Chain A
């Protein structure tokens, strides 16, 4: 026990003497979580507060295009531009501006869209009314040949898929509403003024998001609730880099040789490092929580609300830290130089984060990657954090993930010992 305590003290001294490294261990994760949350929060605000300018080319000049313009003007996300230098813009101009990246989007409404839609709907309604015997077949209009119209969208090639999908969905919904309204109007016209009161055009079906309850209060997850656990985990895994460098340095300095000839077990040496770096991981974690709770509200970000999950969150952080340390010890054992361990450590943490769902949710990944994600310890840690913080799950539901993280740690240490033994037998 004394040897373990002395080993921990020695590791603490080594970290203390590298004040620059120690500051980086705490400051960089803070910068990371604040920057990412600010970006994600401002992205959200961009979509709701500041408007994206879009070009609208109105070749229709009818009821439909007026309605499209009205709907777009009423949308919080867009500001509509129809003129340039006092002249109405045309499709060629819009295409050039969008493809040059000056605008994100242009919507081209084709000529004759209103009249075409009106004719098409009226014909269909008339057919239905005729089938119901509500009109005289003799008076029904002769069908005209109507060419289907397309509303054209031009996107800046640099636009992200998520933005394009959101815009397409909005435009699609708008067109559906216009078509529906046209059908109602056509029926109204056919049935006469008195009957129109029966048509209520408000949506019958609506939806409501039901969120988990904490202490009988609904908690709507915000960007902080998502970002703090995710980026804390990411930062904690970066402990791999200094820890592996620490081990490589011991090899290169010769202190590892001396320790091997001392009557001290490898478990004690590794134990000293594990405890020390686990303390660092936990301090990082508490610092990030404190940042989310006390600094975020002061810089206009949503507050991190733990809702009584502090102990469980700390437990998840502890096991995640162990997994990261296990990986760091294996890397430091295998690597011969710092040039090997540092870039490999940093890159592999980024890969584990990407695979683990820190950036892109696992459900949005291709099927094969979803299987790969399940093998990432960062995914286990992230799921455990979300289970506790967002899904209000108890230890009974989270323990398999904690066990997986712990087994990963044991596995990594086991591999390190086996590798070390094999190297000594050279």
Chain B
């Protein structure tokens, strides 16, 4: 847990026709093996930051490296070591869970028995093995979230980006997902995670950064930032203290 795996330097993003920066001169480092929680109100810049780190959109200025690699020179190498679990169910509804996972696993170069074994193990762990041959469109929200998670993890990435992985799921599904994330973290995967569930983040993350208006306003271990914030007893207290009570409509 010592070396840095993600290094972000003065990263900014201003969308076309926008009159403000969604990510504003942001610098950050993530250590290898961390579960890094990226928290913030709606419109704070979390998804924009993750989208840039995943190579989905290009920064306006600044730079970052993932495991010492940059998209400019090593896009394909970065894509091999990262896993992405987007907020929406990024799955083909008319394909079965197994077919979806076979397809996305193959796109990472996995094949044969190894791929099948990984799919079966993951489905089994997340309680979906008996639904493997059912089409995704017949799944509940929680089941879709779990398949969505597996699709980003089959290749055992060094860095996993999770954009609100437990939104809209029941407590049981959430517990299974959190347990699974802890297990893959123990196997060495660094996790970058965004969520509005502050208690969940407090429980899961080793480091937390709260961002607002595109800037990091505090960063540290959950217990540290609770301690340094006046009158705070939980992460939610810290959050409200730093970002205010005003509604944030995106």
Which of A11-19, A105-113, A384-392 lies at the interface?
Answer: A11-19
Q: Which residues of A contact B (CB under 8 A)?
A: 2-3, 6-7, 10, 13-14, 17-18, 253-255, 257-264, 424-426
CA distance A10 to B111 in the complex (A): 15
Which of B53-61, B120-128, B193-201 lies at the interface?
Answer: B53-61
CA distance A262 to B152 in the complex (A): 9
CB distance from A17 to the nearest CB of B (A): 4
- Please determine whether A263 and B88 come into contact, CB atoms closer than 8 angstroms: no
Chain B 109-131 interface residues, beta-carbon cutoff 8 Å to A: 109, 111
CB distance from B204 to the nearest CB of A (A): 22
- Please determine whether B16 and A426 come into contact, CB atoms closer than 8 angstroms: yes
Q: Please, which residues of chain B bring their CB within 8 A of the CB of A257?
A: 56, 84, 86, 88, 90
CB distance from A250 to the nearest CB of B (A): 8
Q: Please, which residues of chain B bring their CB within 8 A of the CB of A13?
A: 94-95, 99
Q: Give 1 or 0 for each of B86-116: 1 = CB within 8 Å of chain A CB.
A: 1011111111000100111011110100000
A-B contact pairs, 6 of them (CB 8 A): A10-B95, A17-B135, A254-B90, A258-B151, A263-B80, A263-B109
Q: Please, which residues of chain B bring their CB within 8 A of the CB of A17?
A: 94-95, 135
Provided the pairs A261-B56, A261-B79, A263-B76 are in contact, do residues A18 and B103 lie with their beta carbons within 8 angstroms? no
Partner of B104, one of A2, A258, A426: A258
CB distance from B142 to the nearest CB of A (A): 17
Partner of B90, one of A3, A6, A255, A426: A255
- Please determine whether B151 and A260 come into contact, CB atoms closer than 8 angstroms: no
Provided the pairs A10-B92, A255-B92 are in contact, do residues A260 and B16 lie with their beta carbons within 8 angstroms? no
Partner of B57, one of A2, A262, A425: A425
Main secondary structure on chain A at its contact with chain B?
helix
CA distance A2 to B115 in the complex (A): 14
- Please determine whether B111 and A2 come into contact, CB atoms closer than 8 angstroms: yes
- Please determine whether A261 and B82 come into contact, CB atoms closer than 8 angstroms: yes
Interface centre among B79, B89, B92, B102, by most A CB within 10 Å?
A: B92
CB distance from B37 to the nearest CB of A (A): 20
Q: Please, which residues of chain A bring their CB within 8 A of the CB of B109?
A: 2-3, 263
CA distance A259 to B54 in the complex (A): 11
Q: Please, which residues of chain A bring their CB within 8 A of the CB of B15?
A: 426
CA distance A264 to B91 in the complex (A): 16
- Please determine whether A255 and B108 come into contact, CB atoms closer than 8 angstroms: no
Partner of B106, one of A2, A14, A255, A260: A2
Q: Please, which residues of chain A bring their CB within 8 A of the CB of B151?
A: 258
- Please determine whether A262 and B107 come into contact, CB atoms closer than 8 angstroms: yes
CA distance A258 to B151 in the complex (A): 9
CB distance from B138 to the nearest CB of A (A): 12
CA distance A139 to B86 in the complex (A): 110
Provided the pairs A6-B103, A17-B135, A426-B57 are in contact, do residues A262 and B79 lie with their beta carbons within 8 angstroms? yes
Provided the pairs A426-B15, A426-B16 are in contact, do residues A262 and B56 lie with their beta carbons within 8 angstroms? no
CA distance A7 to B104 in the complex (A): 10
Which residue of the partner chain A has the closest CB to B14?
Answer: A426
Provided the pairs A261-B82, A263-B108 are in contact, do residues A254 and B88 lie with their beta carbons within 8 angstroms? yes
CB distance from A5 to the nearest CB of B (A): 9
Q: Please, which residues of chain B bring their CB within 8 A of the CB of A14?
A: 92, 94-95
A6-B103, A255-B90 known, 8 other contacts, Cβ within 8 Å: A3-B107, A10-B99, A14-B95, A253-B91, A254-B89, A260-B55, A260-B56, A261-B84
Q: Please, which residues of chain B bring their CB within 8 A of the CB of A7?
A: 103
Which residue of the partner chain B has the closest CB to A264?
Answer: B107
CB distance from A393 to the nearest CB of B (A): 44
- Please determine whether B95 and A258 come into contact, CB atoms closer than 8 angstroms: no
Which residue of the partner chain A has the closest CB to B89?
Answer: A254
- Please determine whether A263 and B107 come into contact, CB atoms closer than 8 angstroms: yes
Which residue of the partner chain A has the closest CB to B111?
Answer: A2
CA distance A424 to B94 in the complex (A): 27
- Please determine whether A18 and B94 come into contact, CB atoms closer than 8 angstroms: yes
Q: Please, which residues of chain A bring their CB within 8 A of the CB of B88?
A: 253-254, 257
